[in-house]
A and B are shown apart, each in its own frame.
Chain A
Amino acid sequence: MTAEAEYGAVRIRVTVNGVGHDALVEPRTLLVYFLREQLGLTGTHVGCDTSQCGACTVLLDGRAVKSCTILAVQANGAEVKTIEGLANGDTFHPVQEGFREKHGLQCGYCTPGFIMTAVHLLETNPHPTDEEIKHALEGNLCRCTGYVNIVESIKWAAAKMGGENVSR
């Protein structure tokens, strides 16, 4: 490979919410900006931009990660799921429903990140304790609702996903 090729844009192929994308990216492009600005998927938010707040959380090959701290080139060949890919048509994912039913959001800025984190948690641990939920949420910050209703929202989702008859 020539030096020119190394310093130029890199071609990547990424599957986002089930759709394959071929794209040219500058190596320094962060995954979150690739999603928002090249693909127009603005549901993933940039909060602190320093891998603290978790607003940019997406699933990369099924794992919750902070997309402000991953280069788009590192996602080459990977599958990404964002908040836009959660609902099935008009039917919300149970975690999305839980946040609505249990008032897990107020301004909503942090919500996509919390929801993607919770989706990963419930996929790996379908019946988490309150403590396990709180431990899993350590990398997500909310500045207005507070965390009590967020934990309740995730418990509601866990119950619904477990087949329980959940109250509205």
Chain B
Amino acid sequence: MFPASFGYVAAHSVDEALRLLDKHGDAGKLLAGGHSLIPAMKLRLMSPGTLIDLGTIPGLRGIRVDERSLVIGALTLHADVASSDLVREHLPGLADAASVIGDMQVRNRGTIGGSVAHADPAADFPVVLTALNASLVVQSSTGNRTIAVDEFFTDFYTTAMAANEILTEIRVPIPPSGSGTAYAKLPHPASGYVVVSAGALITQSSGSCVSARLAIGGLGSGPIHAVATEIELKGKSLTPQVINAAAAKAAENTDPTEDSYASAEYKRHVATVYARKAIEAAVARAAK
């Protein structure tokens, strides 16, 4: 299978990529690792006129600490997020998610920025980054702006980014002490994509939960913020009974679509199970 013909330009700076994006307009498409885009082009689901390659821009790859956040360059590979000492120390839930994306070869090529900007409803990073309250730094020819993750994923394969913007950084707050993060996923047995997944960030103090964020994937057009579960957890001592009761509300007010693998009812049920797994794992890490 071959993609339809297209033009190719390698960008060597974000500014150059922005100029190319402005120049090519709707015909231009940004290429990062290409592990969502190239399969879509081979299937002729997408036929961009010109690919603007970001892979040739230095400085968009790597993970650093800036004040109380981890800053992850948009071109950082899944494999490097999964194996990063900084990520494993501060945000093990993010490493969990990175290590179960696709397979080893995909993780060696796919990028966090590409995954986030593609906004596949069955992807892992959008879910865990929603749980972790990340923010997305985007650039355009007129300047930078930062978009909160809760505002970012607006629909299937659609984000709050404008067509002339490039995602350059993912900023993830380092949680305060007493916090734990985790990600639990039911993968489709053939594709490895998310059937249902859950990301959790739990912060405890003096034996009770002071804050909780839980995001669920697979139930809608993007990550769903499980507000009802968070309310059930907050202010309580997280006994197994409390966690079970809270997780049982993880699929409230959702209307997942049925597909050939899973019915809507099954997805809603499994969401409560994976919510519980993620909360339990986060609580176990918070206790350490």
Interface residues of A, Cβ cutoff 8 Å to B:
1, 3, 6-7, 10, 26-28, 30, 49-52, 54, 57, 60, 63-66, 69-71, 73-74, 76, 117, 120-121, 135-140
B142 within 8 A of A: no
Interface members, chain B 1-50 (any A CB < 8 Å): 1-10, 31, 34-35, 38-39, 41-42, 50
A-B contact count (CB 8 A): 92
Asked if B108 CB lies within 8 Å of chain A CBs, one says yes
Q: How far is the CA of A51 from the CA of B1 in the complex (A)?
A: 11
Residue contacts A-B, CB under 8 angstroms, 17 given: A1-B9, A6-B7, A27-B8, A30-B38, A51-B35, A52-B191, A63-B108, A63-B109, A66-B109, A70-B34, A70-B109, A71-B31, A74-B55, A117-B104, A136-B104, A139-B105, A139-B106
Contact-residue size bin, chain B (C-beta under 8 Å from the other chain): 20 to 34
B53 adjacent to chain A (CB < 8 Å): yes
| A74 touching B53 in the complex, CB below 8 Å, given contacts A69-B39, A139-B105 | yes
A154 to chain B: closest CB distance in Å?
A: 13
B51 at the interface (CB under 8 A from A): yes
B contact residues around A49 at 8 Å (CB): 1, 42
Q: Which of A3, A10, A66, A140 has the most CB of B within 10 A?
A: A66
Complex Cα distance A148/B31, Å?
Answer: 38
Q: Is A28 a contact partner of B104 (Cβ separation < 8 A)?
A: no
Known: A28-B2, A138-B103, A139-B105. A73 touches B34 (CB 8 A): no
Closest to A54 in B: B105
> Within 8 Å CB of B4, what residues of A?
28
- Given contacts A10-B8, A76-B10, A139-B106, list 20 more A-B pairs with CB under 8 A: A6-B9, A7-B5, A7-B6, A7-B50, A27-B7, A28-B2, A28-B5, A28-B6, A49-B1, A49-B42, A63-B108, A63-B109, A65-B105, A65-B109, A71-B8, A73-B53, A76-B56, A117-B104, A120-B108, A139-B104
Enumerate chain A residues within 8 angstroms of B256, measured Cβ to Cβ: none
Which residue numbers of B lie inside 8 Å of A, CB to CB? 1-10, 31, 34-35, 38-39, 41-42, 50-51, 53, 55-56, 79, 102-106, 108-109, 190-192
Please list the 3 inter-chain residue pairs (A to B) with the smallest Cβ-Cβ separation, ordered nearest first: A139-B103, A27-B8, A6-B7
Q: Which residue of B lies closest to A26 (CB)?
A: B5
Contacts of B53 in A (CB 8 A): 73-74
Given A7-B7, A28-B5, A69-B34, residue A64 in contact with residue B108 (CB < 8 A): yes
Min CB distance, B166 to chain A, in Å? 18
Given contacts A66-B109, A74-B53, contact A51 B79 (CB under 8 A): no
Given contacts A69-B35, A73-B8, contact A64 B2 (CB under 8 A): no
